[in-house]
Amino acid sequence: MMNNRLIDKTSVIPMYYQLAKLLEGQIRRGELKPGEAIPTETEISARFAISRMTVRRAIAELVTSGMVNAQQGKGTFVTMPKLDNIVFELNDFNHNIQQSGILAKTTLLEAKIVRLNELLQEKFAVSNANVKFLFSRMVVSAAEERLAYETKYTLYSKSKPILESDLQDPTLPGLVAAHSNFLPVSAKKVLQVAAATELEASILGIVPNSPVFLIEQTIYDPEHRTVGWSKSIYRGDRYKLTGYDGWYKKD
Amino acid sequence: MMNNRLIDKTSVIPMYYQLAKLLEGQIRRGELKPGEAIPTETEISARFAISRMTVRRAIAELVTSGMVNAQQGKGTFVTMPKLDNIVFELNDFNHNIQQSGILAKTTLLEAKIVRLNELLQEKFAVSNANVKFLFSRMVVSAAEERLAYETKYTLYSKSKPILESDLQDPTLPGLVAAHSNFLPVSAKKVLQVAAATELEASILGIVPNSPVFLIEQTIYDPEHRTVGWSKSIYRGDRYKLTGYDGWYKKD
DNA sequence: AAGGTATAGTTGTATAGACAAGTAAGACTA
DNA sequence: TAGTCTTACTTGTCTATACAACTATACCTT
């Protein structure tokens, strides 16, 4: 159940952003299902003791990213996904894979996906284009999870000065600088990628608060020979793939 | 001159939308020039007798569409034309076009190249791939020229400490930091692009000292609708185009 | 002269309240 | 029964205000 402890009013992170991420998480985890109405603005406002305008701004983020659609007089509803996209939800995918008994979630996170593309195409008859898309989604989700986990771990397990420096410069480049001495390499990589794309985002005029990931991945075979690669920019619900013009969206 | 009669408070069209369109028109007509600051929120609020929040919402529309960029503490500025507009200053290209007699240089400089890709393909039988390549070449050369010119201008016309700071931190991010206060916006833009890609380059494992440019350009029609785009990475003599694997070389 | 401080001005976030506009469902009327 | 009206509820727009965060500049102190 929603709890107002999940919104930190004293944080440097704007409340509307916290709330947007909270709702986004509920949608991604399936706690708010496609087609369902999310709580009304008044309800959310009361539940978290924040003003309705702030709630509206949070919801506006979700509307922009296409996760929900608001209908005046009726309510705000979680966008219905198409059949194809269900595959691309990380949880569902891991679930499917685990059921099949071929690859477990841990395997995916440990980046030991070998010839996964072939596997997907042969065993699950997934098209090549969809494999590419699937990969980018997996990498992004994994990166997000890992970033969240390792940052939390670092902040909770290390000394105080680090936390203070974080507060002094909460931007991603700042985090990279502050953490570069003791962060695990994988997290540093993720932070660097995020920092790089945040810089790129500012150049390209993208809204600062929308998370942007630039993902380049290479697929190796067991002998560590390159068998393929793909590159994608991921911003909110939109993604851009090498070889495909323009921005694409979930639905 | 702006006039509050231009905002109809009784209209069914929201005021924020009316104001956004009004500002958009001023930018498109050149009454607000690239790099210039638009009036402050307080000024607009007072001039049209509407609340600042409504003004903010209008400006938010322009920020989202990339026409302006807001900088906390400084102001809101009309976005500089993207690098593709610099294309129109490239001498070689203008020369060729002038010879053909179809597009004059002045036309190019006025950024009135309409559907240039179509034109090139229809009139000159240039393949789509070559049009993309041509565009990227033009952009890169123009960017290099502009960077060289504006840096030189800055260094020769400004005081000594700048030169010293340059020597202290000769990297591109250092240059950006040192010059950010007085460099023309366009040059800053170029430097930023270079800096961003240097960061990206370090992630991707490219040799640090070779100059790298990441160019993304968009082609607009007269109504400012996007009719195409291309993206390329340019390093020394080599270039990489979206949709084409690997690195290519000049000739 | 160098460096810190105060100040004014700008955008960013958040609040509380008001009313408009659209939807749905029940109550009422012909 | 069929249509209209009322009412409650939802999102949309707008105001007035407050303070935070950031920038640039003038001023002051050492």
Most confident of A88-92, A242-246, B84-88, B162-166: A242-246
Q: What Å distances lie between residue B138 and A197, B92, B123, B124, B215, CA to CA?
A: 25, 9, 19, 17, 11
Chain A touched by B200 (CB under 8 Å): yes
CA distance A67 to chain B (A): 18
Number of domains into which chain A is organized: 2
For residue A79, pLDDT over 60 is answered with yes
What is the model's pLDDT at position A193? 36
Q: Which nucleotide is nearest to A51 (CA to C1')?
A: C15
> Does residue B115 sit in the same domain as residue B151?
yes
Boundary residue ending a domain (B55, B78, B101): B78
Chain B 176-215 residues in 7 Å CB range of strand C: none
| Domain extent at residue B60 | 4-78
- Out of A193, A205, A246, the one facing B69 most closely (by C-beta) is A205
- Out of B196, B216, B243, the one facing A199 most closely (by C-beta) is B196
> Does residue B220 sit in the same domain as residue B96?
yes
Which ranges of A101-244 does DSSP label H, i.e. alpha helix?
105-109, 116-124, 128-157, 160-168, 172-179, 185-204
Span B1-31, pLDDT tens digits? 344 457 888 877 888 988 988 898 888 677 8
The whole-number Å distance from B37's CA to D13's C1' is: 27
CB pairs under 8 A between A and B: 39
For residue B33, pLDDT over 70 is answered with yes
Q: Are strands B75-78 and B68-71 parallel, antiparallel or unpaired?
A: antiparallel
Q: Is B83 exposed, middle or buried (0-12, 13-18, 19+ CB in 10 A)?
A: buried
Q: Looking at beta carbons, which residues of chain B come within 8 Å of A176?
A: none
> Does residue B119 sit in the same domain as residue B206?
yes
> Does residue B74 sit in the same domain as residue B91?
no
Do residues A101 and A93 make contact, with C-beta atoms less than 8 angstroms apart? no
> Does residue B111 sit in the same domain as residue B180?
yes
What is the model's pLDDT at position B78? 84
Q: What Å distances lie between residue B160 and B154, B156, B165, B177, CA to CA?
A: 11, 9, 9, 16
Count the Cβ atoms, other than its own, within 10 Å of residue B106.
11
**Cβ-based neighbours of B187, under 8 Å, separated by 6 or more:** B146, B147, B150, B151, B154, B179
A76 touches strand D (CB under 7 A): yes
> Does residue B117 sit in the same domain as residue B38?
no
> Does residue A145 sit in the same domain as residue A237?
yes
Span A139-154, pLDDT tens digits? 333 334 333 333 333 3
The pLDDT-based confidence of A69 (bands split at 50, 70, 90) is confident
Do residues B143 and B177 make contact, with C-beta atoms less than 8 angstroms apart? no
Chain A 24-63 residues in 7 Å CB range of strand D: 37-38, 40-43, 53, 56, 59
> Does residue B149 sit in the same domain as residue B106?
yes
Three-state DSSP at A95 gives: helix
Between these two residues, B111 and A228, which has the higher pLDDT value? Answer: A228
Q: Is residue A248 part of a domain?
A: no
Is B229 within 8 Å of A246 when comparing Cβ atoms? yes
A54 touches strand C (CB under 7 A): yes
Please report, rounded to a whole number, the percentage of residues in chain B having pLDDT higher than 70: 28
Do residues B14 and B58 make contact, with C-beta atoms less than 8 angstroms apart? no
Boundary residue ending a domain (A78, A110, A126): A78
Task: Supply B97's token pair.
Answer: 């076009």
Chain A touched by B64 (CB under 8 Å): yes
Q: What is the CATH number of the domain that holds A67?
A: 1.10.10.10
Question: Mean pLDDT, chain A, as a whole number?
Answer: 51
- Out of A195, A214, A243, the one facing B243 most closely (by C-beta) is A243
> Does residue B66 sit in the same domain as residue B118?
no
> Does residue A18 sit in the same domain as residue A74?
yes
Boundary residue ending a domain (B44, B78, B112): B78
Chain B touched by A43 (CB under 8 Å): no
> Does residue B47 sit in the same domain as residue B165?
no
Angstrom distance (rounded) from CA A53 to CA A71: 17
pTM of the model: 0.45
> Does residue A184 sit in the same domain as residue A149?
yes
- Please report, as a single letter, which amino acid is at residue A163: L
Which contacts qualify for B155-158: CB closer than 8 Å, 24 or more apart?
B158/B182
Q: For B46-87, give the secondary structure using H, E and C.
A: HHHCCCHHHHHHHHHHHHHHCCEEEECCCEEEECCCCHHHHH
Q: Is B9 exposed, middle or buried (0-12, 13-18, 19+ CB in 10 A)?
A: exposed
Task: Supply B138's token pair.
Answer: 């033009």
Question: Mean pLDDT, chain B, as a whole number?
Answer: 50
Q: Which nucleotide is nearest to B180 (CA to C1')?
A: D23
Assign residue A243 a region (left: φ > 0; alpha: ψ between -120 and 50; beta: otherwise): left
Span A191-225, pLDDT tens digits? 333 333 333 333 333 333 333 343 333 333 233 33
Span A104-151, pLDDT tens digits? 222 222 222 223 333 334 433 444 444 443 443 333 333 343 333 333
Best CA proximity match to A142, nearest among A130, A134, A131, A153: A134
Angstrom distance (rounded) from CA A38 to CA A238: 22
Three-state DSSP at B23 gives: helix
User: Scanning every residue of chain B, which has its alpha carbon at the shortest distance from the alpha carbon of A192?
Assistant: B203
Span B224-251, pLDDT tens digits? 333 333 344 444 444 444 433 344 443 3
- Longest CA pairwise span in chain B (Å): 63
Best CA proximity match to B169, nearest among B180, B158, B184: B180
User: Scanning every residue of chain B, which has its alpha carbon at the shortest distance from the alpha carbon of A199?
Assistant: B196
Q: Which of A106-110, A166-170, A215-219, B218-222 has the lowest mean pLDDT?
A: A106-110
